[in-house]
Structure 1
Amino acid sequence: MVTLKDIAKKCGVSVASVSKAINHMPGVGAQTAKKIRETAKSMGYLPNAAAQALKTNRTFIIGVLLEDDDSHGLLHQFFVSVLDSFKFKMEEQGYDLMLMNRTVGKRTISYLEHCRYSNMDGVFVACIDFSDPELLELADAGTPMVTIDHTYPGHPSVYSDNVDGIRKAVRYAHEKGHTRIAFISGAPAGVTNKRYEGYEGMLKELGIPVREEYYKVSRYRDVKLTKELTAELLTLPEPPTCILMPDDYAGLGGLAAIREAGLRVPEDISVIGFDGLEYMAHISPRLTTVYQDVKRIGEAAAELLLKRIDNKEKDTPAKSIKVPVSLIEGETVVPPQKS
């Protein structure tokens, strides 16, 4: 079995320096620490988790709360992609991720109890009911926590520029000649409010009337409901010529409704998604969509949480990072047919 003494001898440093480097503690230069960790890895060294926790007062475990209304959080490609980026950044610093739940064996526990039971150093929260009393309890307990698309007092958060995302979509549709632009949003939430703000604001800025019948409320990733609402829009006396979907995945329902109505995308009606999911680039016609930078969102979440864990920003207001979005021009938006 490889010991700290073996690594110290190989690197020509003290055992204390090896211990500090492996446990990501101050007192060792960045280059030396990197060399020590690389040497330890090449020698097959694995630290004892229990001993490491005693030395550092940390377990290097990060809890993950990722669960949507249908308990299918891990099927949500956008959030899973954000989590993957977050995971990579945290693992670089020696942390492991643990999915959180409300049970340990046969016993039902709260999120806070699970956090304390597993001695978690911090928690990553996304794609969940942010008003859940147990989540509010966890936020109030003072455990380092970072959230995606929602902000709790005293905790850092990361979110896309949802206002600008929808503004970009509306502006793009208008540049193509559309003035009858409908919006099917996700369920009421902070993100949804921001997107509607962008939709309404951009329409007014362009001098386009905000028509109540052109706004529908679906749910994120809900293909069935989005299909039904799209069908409703298509039966209006004056149907829209362009529809903004809640997200790329839910937009599949909208595309199906358009096909079943005997219409074509984009010849008869244009469609714009939101998320920029990679697999949507392989459908035909290729979806025009608002791209969310999942890599940057995940990295930013990791950076903020690490600073909280290290107490580097303990006495400063919690940061909220807004990540820019971009519009991906696909093949689902063309000028509307002349009446």
Structure 2
Amino acid sequence: MAVAAGVSVKTVSNVVNGTARVADETRRRVQQAIDALGYHPNMMARRLRTGRSGVLALAFPEMPNPYFAELAVEVIAAARRHGCTVLMDDTAGDAAAELRIASGLGDPMIDGVILSPLSLDQNELASRDRSVPLVLLGEADYGLVCDHVHIDNVAAARDVTRHLIDGGYRRIGAIGWQDPSPRATAQQRLLGYTEALRDAGLLVDQALFPPVRSYRRPDGAEAMRRLLKLPQLPDAVFCFNDMMALGAMRAIYDAGLRVPDDIALVGFDDVEEAEYAIPSLTTIAPDKTKIAEEAVGALLRRINDGYEEAGRLIQPGYRLVVRESSRRR
């Protein structure tokens, strides 16, 4: 394989095992050789030789959510490039399930865990089995007890709200606030939204961000129906994820209105459905590939190198994808 890729055996080992940083072009050549030769690591031999199985656990709070499903595909691909296998679980946002995952499920075959927690609090996380390397995804702040990979949600929410303001919209609603116990996602995206309004000298009106129970299509539709009952309708709405935006789009259509002619609409996550909706949905696109690569890379450094320094905040980029749903006036 080293000969086929034109690199040393050590470089192949570094790529497969994630034991050192390798230039992107070199990694690409090694991966091409791996694919061409049909190489698959022998997990039992690896465990006997290194004490590691090459098995990683990945858990999200809601696997049917397209964002999590798409990110899971990227994590699996990133892990495969390092010769690792991924076991997936759905915690349903249950704190006990999240803690069990964070502790490696009590399974010695699991080398490390990538977890996107929803309900786990900082004290519960501190009580986990620390012998299991852990990387966190998602917005919740746990004080960098381990490596944490997420985009800057406040900045992203501010950018997409500014996009609406720059398009001439002035009465801008928001769908995604949670009350009485808001999640970190709701807090950060509302903060970015309100910062953009205040920066533009616009009123922050609480009537324009009705609370939701969860981030699904029906919640977006229900919140939009409440906004449509206001004496003065919003002229644009920022939904805190694409699923709620798609639900809101349906509610607008059912009310005999059109997007963006009557109400502009933007989302967050850039799931595949956003591009193919009618109209196509303007949204924030987190760099899912980079999030996955950084999460897997950080985890393998902990696993393979015994990396014990304090946790790091790793922030991949994002971009604003402008589509039909927020056509400029």
For the 8 Å contact 2:175–2:220, the answer to whether it is kept is: yes
Matched length: 309
Say if 1:21 and 1:82 are closer, same or farther in 2 by CA, change over 3 A.
closer
Report if aligned partners of 2:102, 2:113 keep a CA contact under 8 Å in 1. no
Query: Which residue of structure 2 aligns with residue 157 of structure 1?
Result: 148
Matches within 5 A, 1:67-82: 67-68=61-62, 73=63, 75-82=64-71
Using the alignment, how far apart are the partners of 1:186 and 1:128 within structure 2?
Answer: 15
Q: Indicate if the aligned counterparts of 2:238 and 2:267 stay in contact, CA closer than 8 A.
A: yes
For 2:290, the equivalent position in structure 1 comes to 296
Partners in 2 of 1:292 and 1:47 — Cα distance? 31
1:268 equivalenced with 2:262 (yes/no): yes
Superposed displacement of residue 265, structure 1: 1.1
Q: What is the rounded CA distance, in whole Å, between the counterparts of 2:86 and 2:246 in structure 1?
A: 32
Q: How does 1:122-271 map to 2 (within 5 A)?
A: 122-126=112-116, 128-131=118-121, 137-138=127-128, 140-149=129-138, 150-152=140-142, 153-185=144-176, 187=178, 188-271=182-265
Deviations 1:176-196, CA, capped at 9 Å, x for gaps: 111101111154222221111
- SS state at 1:94 partner: coil
User: How many percent of aligned residue pairs carry the same amino acid?
Assistant: 25
Q: CA deviation at 1:311?
A: 3.1
Describe how 1:89-108 pairs up with structure 2 within 5 A.
Answer: 89-100=78-89
Q: 1:247 to 1:260 in 2, by over 3 A?
A: same
Query: Any gaps of 5 or more consecutive residues in structure 1?
Result: 1-6, 9-15, 103-107
TM-score (norm 1): 0.78
The structure whose Rg is larger is 1
Distance between the aligned counterparts of 2:16 and 2:167, measured in 1? 56
1:304 positional shift: 1.2
How far has the Cα of 1:319 moved from its partner?
1.1
Q: Which amino acid aligns with 1:131?
A: D
Instruction: Map residues 16-31 of structure 1 onto 2, 5 A cutoff.
Output: 24=17
Indicate conservation of the 8 Å contact 1:219/1:246, yes or no: no
1:278 paired with 2:267, answer no
SS at match of 1:121: strand
Cα offsets for 1:224-280 (capped at 9, x unmatched):
122111111111111211111121122121111111211111111111111112222
Report the alpha carbon displacement of residue 137 of structure 1 after superposing the two structures with TM: 4.1
Supply the distance in 1 between the matched residues of 2:48 and 2:120 (Cα, whole angstroms). 33
Greater Cα shift, 118-127 or 173-182: 118-127
One-letter code aligned to 1:324: G
Q: Does the aligned pair in 2 maintain the 1:124–1:146 contact within 8 Å?
A: yes
Q: Kindly indicate whether the alpha-carbon contact (under 8 Å) linking 1:270 and 1:333 is maintained by their aligned counterparts in 2.
A: yes
How many Å separate the matches in 1 of 2:87 and 2:172?
Answer: 43
Q: Is the 8 A contact 1:65 1:128 kept in 2?
A: no
Alpha-carbon distance, 1:134 to partner: 7.0
**Matched AA of 2:113:** V
Instruction: Decide whether the 8 Å contact of 1:100 with 1:114 is kept in 2.
Output: no
Q: Does 1:111 align with 2:104?
A: no
Alignment counterpart, residue 326 of structure 1, candidates 304, 319, 327? 319
Residue deviations 1:56-96 (CA, integer Å, cap 9, x gap):
0111110111233xxxx1x2221222222222222122211
Q: Within 1, Cα distance between the matches of 2:116 and 2:131?
A: 18
The 8 Å contact of residues 235 and 262 in structure 2, kept in 1 or not, is answered as: yes
Deviations 1:91-122 (A, max 9, x none): 122211112479xxxxx994367533242110
Q: Name the structure 2 match of 1:83.
A: 72
Which amino acid in the other structure matches residue 117 of structure 1?
Answer: D
User: Is the CA contact 2:169–2:236 (under 8 Å) kept in the aligned structure 1?
Assistant: yes
Deviations 1:124-180 (A, max 9, x none): 112643339876643x52411111113434211111221111111211111111110
Q: Deviations over 1:206-229 (max 9, x none)?
A: 100111101122255421122111
CA contact (8 A) 1:180 1:240 kept: yes
- SS of equivalent to 1:323: coil
Q: 1:121 aligns with which of 103, 111, 115?
A: 111
Cα 1:46–1:169 change in 2 (3 A) is: closer
Any conservation in 2 of the 1:151–1:320 contact (CA below 8 Å)? no
SS of the equivalent of 2:326 reads coil
Task: Give the unaligned 5+ runs of structure 2.
Answer: 3-8, 92-96
Q: Which SS does the other structure have where 2:275 is aligned?
A: helix
Q: Report the Cα distance in structure 1 between the residues aligned to 2:18 and 2:266, rounded to whole angstroms.
A: 48
